[in-house]
Amino acid sequence: MLQYNETPVIPIENDIFKVSKLTILVKREDQNHHLVSGNKWWKLKYNLEEAQRLGHDTLLTFGGAFSNHIFATAAAARDQGFKSIGLIRGEKILPLNTTLSFAESCGMQLHFISRTEYRNKTTPEFKEELRSRFGNFYLIPEGGTNALAVRGCAAFAKEKIAPLKCNYVCLPVGTGGTTAGLVSGLSGPTQIIGFPVLKNGSFLEEEIKTHLKHFSFCNWHLQTEYHFGGYAKTTSVLLEFIHEMEKSNLPLDPVYTGKMVYGIFDLARKGFFPSGSTVLAIHTGGLQTIQ
């Protein structure tokens, strides 16, 4: 089993929060593992156990050229003694970027496929084609999101978040699996706020409901206006904010956590959180993208 390091909860001090009497905390889940960090640890936990239980020796998964999931899966596979295959969206560009170079150094076989092929990745025909090409493997979906990933994130919510008794829990949203896990794992009055990092991210509401098996939960919603242009897109405003947060010893990445924390500041400035609230932000990792 992957080693898990207990992670701290740290406060963010700012005059904006003092005025509204808000307590803003960050769960530094980026520190739970030196390579398989953040929510990726929890999303892979039960998938790795299932692959071992079924007797697989190879993991196959999907991602873009800068995918945190590809990075984490390659590291986890090496750590746990699996071979790994990564199907990468788009053309191969040399030299490989740091994410793909690292994955390859872990022994992951990288195969680049067209964006058209990539869109077919969930079809039975494409999966059968992959098995004909690569043999038997344990498939982990893009972003690591499946029922076992949701289960892992629900366990995280129950074990590490629920005892903190916060009014709000905030997290960045990519595929919706982590959000679904937190929604199902947290009970009581705690509200979960997801910050989609994709443009027009409202479609993720249906994705999250699907992961929740359409059970009705009223403890969550999405804030879709903090995408800064879309996935992996950024602006000078966001980069300046991230730089200022780094001065306060809180490193953030521009793809996920930077957008979420910016959103929390903006919502606090607008009076969204009731006075006296405690708001917890989940740092989901991804810092290798800025190294």
Show which of 144, 163, 181 is a domain's final residue. 144
- 170 & 239 share domain: yes
Mean pLDDT computed over 214-225: 88
Per-residue pLDDT, 1: 82
Per-residue pLDDT, 289: 65
- Gap between the Cα atoms of 162 and 185, Å rounded: 8
- Gap between the Cα atoms of 137 and 163, Å rounded: 38
Which residues are bridge partners to 281 per DSSP? 26, 170
- 283 & 158 share domain: yes
Per-residue pLDDT, 187: 75
Let me know if residue 4 belongs to a domain: no
Which residue do the tokens 């990792």 mark?
285
Per-residue pLDDT for 197 more than 90? yes
Mean pLDDT of the chain: 95
Can you give the CATH number for the domain in which 279 is found? 3.40.50.1100
Show which of 144, 166, 188 is a domain's final residue. 144
More confident residue, 154 or 288: 154
Query: How many domains does the chain divide into?
Result: 2
Mean pLDDT computed over 214-219: 80
- 53 & 118 share domain: yes
Per-residue pLDDT for 290 more than 60? yes
- Gap between the Cα atoms of 5 and 28, Å rounded: 11
Per-residue pLDDT for 59 more than 60? yes
- 87 & 212 share domain: no
- 286 & 165 share domain: yes
Mean pLDDT computed over 40-62: 98
Q: Is the pTM here over 0.85, yes or no? A: yes
Question: Could you list the residue range(s) of the whole structural domain that residue 241 is in?
Answer: 9-33+153-290
Per-residue pLDDT, 15: 94
More confident residue, 1 or 63: 63
The per-residue pLDDT for range 233-272, each reduced to its tens digit, is 999 999 999 999 999 999 999 999 999 999 999 999 999 9
Per-residue pLDDT for 291 more than 60? no
Let me know if residue 192 belongs to a domain: yes
Mean pLDDT computed over 87-94: 95
- 126 & 225 share domain: no
Q: Residues of the chain with pLDDT > 70: what percent?
A: 99
The per-residue pLDDT for range 111-124, each reduced to its tens digit, is 999 999 999 999 99
The three state secondary structure string of the chain is CCCCCCCCEEECCCHHHHHCCCEEEEECHHHCCCCCCCHHHHHHHHHHHHHHHCCCCEEEEEECCCCHHHHHHHHHHHHHCCEEEEEEECCCCCCCCHHHHHHHHCCCEEEEECHHHHHCCCCHHHHHHHHHHHCCCEEECHHHCCHHHHHHHHHHHHHHHHHHCCCEEEEEECCCHHHHHHHHHCCCCCEEEEEECCCCHHHHHHHHHHHCCCCCCCCEEECCCCCCCCCCCCCHHHHHHHHHHHHCCCCCCCCCHHHHHHHHHHHHHCCCCCCCCEEEEECCCCHHHHC
Question: Would you place residue 137 in the very low, low, confident or very high pLDDT band (cuts 50, 70, 90)?
Answer: very high
Per-residue pLDDT for 7 more than 70? yes
Cβ(93)–Cβ(172) under 8 Å?
A: no
- Gap between the Cα atoms of 78 and 143, Å rounded: 18
Question: Would you place residue 66 in the very low, low, confident or very high pLDDT band (cuts 50, 70, 90)?
Answer: confident
Per-residue pLDDT, 214: 67
